[in-house]
Amino acid sequence: MINITNSKTMKTKFILLFTIALLSVSAKSIAQAPDDCTILMSYFTEQAKIKNYEAALPHYENLVKDCPNYNLAIYQYGIKMYEYFVDEKGDKSKINDLIQAYQLRLQHFPEQTKEGEVLSSIAQLKYDNNVGTKAEQFKAFDEAFKKDPENFTSGKSLYAYFSLAVDLFNEGQKDIQEIFDLYDVVISKIDTEKNSLASKLTPMLDKEEAGTALTDKEQRAKDVYENNLGVYATVEGSVNGKLGQLADCPNLIPLYEKDYEQKKNDIEWLKNASNRLDAKDCESSLSNKLAVRLHELEPSSTSAYLLGKQAEAEGKASAALEYFNQAAELEKDNSKKARIYYSIAENYRKKGSFGTARTYYNKMLEAKPSAGIAYYKIGAMYADSANNCGTTVFEKRAMYWLAADMMDKAARVDGTISGNAKAAASSYRQRAPQASDIFSEGMAGKTVTFSCWVGGSVRVPNL
């Protein structure tokens, strides 16, 4: 006989369980419904916009839990919120939350996020707040740079990345060649950023030099470019300072001499060793041995350049020039090409061939727009030519205005020489005609044209 009561009870329980499950799914769907996400987002941004982050925090937590893909602004405001807690309130317990906010942005909005920028920001947080070991901090920077070097642009982070590597070397966790390799990578990245900024800044400087006022937008951009160039110059100096004595000649020469016999058929090693010794102007018979061996194995821009440097050191200017021209023709890397053009320009300048020297300094600037030293040298040649460019004392002294303008350009595009360039510009302007000279000669607002190798003209200031 069938137990009807028991059957009804089982049926009732089944219906009850099904209803509860259905309500649970519905509740979850409702919690994540677009309208509810909109409301949660509104609650959060309303408080975040006025920087009432304590009130914004619970709404952020609900958004991350229930609507993580709803809007990029969740993480844009969330990062600012946690930065406030960490930096302004000093709440170090929120560091991991800040790191997570960066990670969630990258996870949920990868197309709208620069991976290198986010990963380097996370690495910088770990470095600044001593999160993890030095090896772990270095790994975070290394991962950021290798995954997306284009968007790893923070000067502060580039320095921290290299600084940690040197620290790990000092602790016996890295070898010296790793440090040299990373140094080349970091300096190359700094060069890339400086050249990008300088190429944007130069047209504005040219526009000003031509007497045309910049628009407000251009002036703001110019200020940003100049400031960032100064930052990268500081970082470059700090990186070189951190490398310090590790790359000084007394350490480099024994290091490479020790490995020469074992490495003398390794072309990349020969290039690295030669370039490192050349960069530090190390005077040693090893330099010539490296250059000759490299040219035997693989005649290249590098070997031709190094042989040119050797010939120059021996006073063989013509032979040096021949090698340098070979090197320039063969070289594809712009930074290296710039260095070669500089050597050629210097060769001509020292022989008094200023016009040809300027041609090669300008070639250097084409390859490396941030090479302020080229503007500096051109300015110095202009000043040295003052007595030979003009028929009157006024015209001769007017040359110093051109020289000063070149020094101004040098200071603006290259912070590493800005101090010397600014001092030179000031000195040249003191030698140029002063207000009393302009008045007595009746030259205010007129143009002085130069018929010597310098060419061009300069407009005399109005009184």
| pLDDT over 60 (residue 19) | no
Mean pLDDT of 157-161: 97
pLDDT above 70: percentage of residues in the chain:
93
What's the confidence (pLDDT) of residue 120?
A: 97
d(CA 23, CA 36): 17
SS3 213: coil
| pLDDT over 50 (residue 1) | no
d(CA 155, CA 163): 12
Farthest-apart Cα atoms in the chain, separation:
132
| pLDDT over 80 (residue 7) | no
d(CA 258, CA 352): 41
DSSP 450: -
Q: Which string of DSSP letters, residue by residue, matches 350-399?
A: HTT-HHHHHHHHHHHHHH-TT-HHHHHHHHHHHHHTGGGS-SSHHHHHHH
What's the confidence (pLDDT) of residue 13?
A: 46
| pLDDT over 60 (residue 386) | yes
Mean pLDDT of 83-96: 94
CB atoms within 10 A of CB 191: 18
Quote the radius of gyration of the chain (alpha carbons, Å).
32
d(CA 157, CA 190): 11
SS3 230: helix
d(CA 117, CA 120): 5
Mean pLDDT of 132-146: 97
What's the confidence (pLDDT) of residue 140?
A: 97
**List of domains in the chain:** 34-245 (1.25.40), 370-463 (no CATH)
| pLDDT over 50 (residue 20) | no
Angle between helices 216-243 and 155-170 (to 10 degrees): 0
CB atoms within 10 A of CB 60: 25
What's the confidence (pLDDT) of residue 6?
A: 47
| pLDDT over 50 (residue 403) | yes
* Nearest-5° Cα angle at 232, 230 to 235: 115
Distance of CA 9 to the CA centre of its chain: 75
| pLDDT over 80 (residue 454) | yes
Mean pLDDT of 19-36: 46
Taking all residues of the chain, what is their mean pLDDT, rounded to a whole number? 89
What's the confidence (pLDDT) of residue 185?
A: 93
Please give the C-alpha separations between residue 449 and each of 116, 390, 442, in angstroms, as whole numbers.
Answer: 51, 8, 16
| pLDDT over 50 (residue 311) | yes
Mean pLDDT of 57-62: 96
List the structure tokens of 343: 């050597």
What's the confidence (pLDDT) of residue 54?
A: 95
The residue whose two tokens read 């000043």 is: 383
**Residue 34 confidence class, pLDDT cut points 50, 70, 90:** low
SS3 50: coil
H or E stretch at 447: strand 447-449
d(CA 113, CA 408): 38
Taking the model in full, what pTM does it have?
0.74
| pLDDT over 80 (residue 446) | yes
**What digits encode the pLDDT tens for the residues 203-243?**
999 888 888 899 999 999 999 999 999 999 999 999 999 99
| pLDDT over 70 (residue 69) | yes
Residue 120 or 212, more confident: 120
Give the residue from 334, 338, 328 showing the smallest Cα distance to 373. 338
CB atoms within 10 A of CB 14: 10
* Nearest-5° Cα angle at 149, 147 to 151: 105
Angle between helices 73-83 and 34-49 (to 10 degrees): 30
What's the confidence (pLDDT) of residue 146?
A: 96
**What digits encode the pLDDT tens for the residues 253-283?**
998 999 899 999 999 889 888 888 888 888 7
- Pairing between β-strand 447-449 and β-strand 457-459 as defined by DSSP bridges: antiparallel
What's the confidence (pLDDT) of residue 279?
A: 80
What's the confidence (pLDDT) of residue 22?
A: 39
